[in-house]
Amino acid sequence: MKSVLFLLLFSPLFLIGQTSLLDAETLIVSKKFSHAETILTSYIKANPNDLKATELLGDAYGHQKKWDEAIKQYKQLVEGKPTEASFQYKYGGALGMKALTISKLKALGIIGDVKSAFLKAAELDPKHIDARWALVELYMQLPGIIGGSKSKSFKYANELEALSKVDGYLAKGYIYEYDDEPELAEEFYKKAIKEGGSITCYDKLTKLYEKEGKSIEAIANLEAAHVKHNRNAMHYQIGKVCSDYNVQLEKGEFCLKVYIDNYSARDGVPKAWAYYRLAKIYRHKKDKAEAFIWINKAIADLPKIDVFKEEKEAINNL
């Protein structure tokens, strides 16, 4: 009888709590981070030891770039369950993001904790890919005097390759690109494309080509990505390279118009940016009237973008 009464009295409270957490998770997935924060803050006041709620609140803060608040939540997780690799990783990540927002001198004071958290995550979970990626980047970006090391970065790139060849190749491409060895970076990005062929793999190689001023190679790589993935977003990327580098303008014009005609929200880049790229292409072609049509469309859609206004001025000066 007592057990029945217990269930009758306390099960509704349990269900209310579970509903709050599910609601918060749904809100986070829907990118309604502020609303999730409100629900979780209230819930945690009544359930201060609920690690799942604490993690979700840390996530809600992190998505809003409230790094101090996120750090506080993730630190509670690490202290409450220090053997959980994902908690260590999130704690290190929040600390690392905070380090990017403060002075270099102040950042030095927390870099050690960032590194320790990522190392602990990698140690606790031999298959934790994100922690190893974080260590690859951290060791490359840190100056040698405070622990930066290309060899240590390679150590974790090799561990990544053992877990996932694609991640390993991308990590090594990143290392060589960061170390200003574009030929070797290109080699490993191509290996990643051959092994996995995801949009990310193609994107890494495209950006390398753009950085190196290899516009023709960038366009060819984007076309290969489009053949494999058949995504409208590739049309915009091709048009962007054509307009930025003043090459293959007819192809760029065609691709941007296809992008605009087939645009949907999932393509990511607003149509106004495609209008802007088209305006640049027509400026390159010395077609002032057509350039004005497209830049005016871009400004009408997104009137606060300064680069659109600068382009209009450049067109006006033709």
Please report the domains of the chain, with CATH numbers, ordered by start residue: 20-125 (1.25.40.10), 127-230 (1.25.40.10), 231-318 (1.25.40.10)
pLDDT at 137 over 80: yes
What is the maximum alpha-carbon separation in the chain?
Answer: 89
CA-CA distance, 269 to 276, in Å (whole number)? 12
pLDDT score for 5 = 47
Taking residues 142-156, what's their average pLDDT?
87
Confidence of residue 12 (pLDDT cuts 50, 70, 90): very low
| HEC sequence for 126-144 | CCCHHHHHHHHHHHHHCCH
Give the mean pLDDT of the chain.
91
Confidence of residue 89 (pLDDT cuts 50, 70, 90): very high
Dihedral sign computed on CA atoms, order 109, 110, 113, 118: negative
pLDDT at 163 over 50: yes
Query: What DSSP assignment string belongs to 6-66?
Result: HHHHHHHHHHHHHHHHHHHHHHHHTT-HHHHHHHHHHHHHH-TT-HHHHHHHHHHHHHTT-
Confidence of residue 155 (pLDDT cuts 50, 70, 90): very high
Confidence of residue 10 (pLDDT cuts 50, 70, 90): very low
Give me 104's structure tokens: 């270099």
Phi-psi region for residue 151, left (φ > 0), alpha (ψ -120 to 50) or beta? alpha
Give me 253's structure tokens: 């014009």
Confidence of residue 147 (pLDDT cuts 50, 70, 90): confident
Confidence of residue 278 (pLDDT cuts 50, 70, 90): very high
Confidence of residue 39 (pLDDT cuts 50, 70, 90): confident
Give me 251's structure tokens: 């192809």
The model carries a pTM of 0.84
Query: What is the 3-state composition of the chain as percent helix, strand, coil, each rounded to the nearest 5?
Result: 80, 0, 20
Taking residues 281-291, what's their average pLDDT?
96
pLDDT at 4 over 80: no
CA-CA distance, 238 to 203, in Å (whole number)? 12
Confidence of residue 143 (pLDDT cuts 50, 70, 90): confident
Q: Which amino acid belongs to residue 173?
A: G
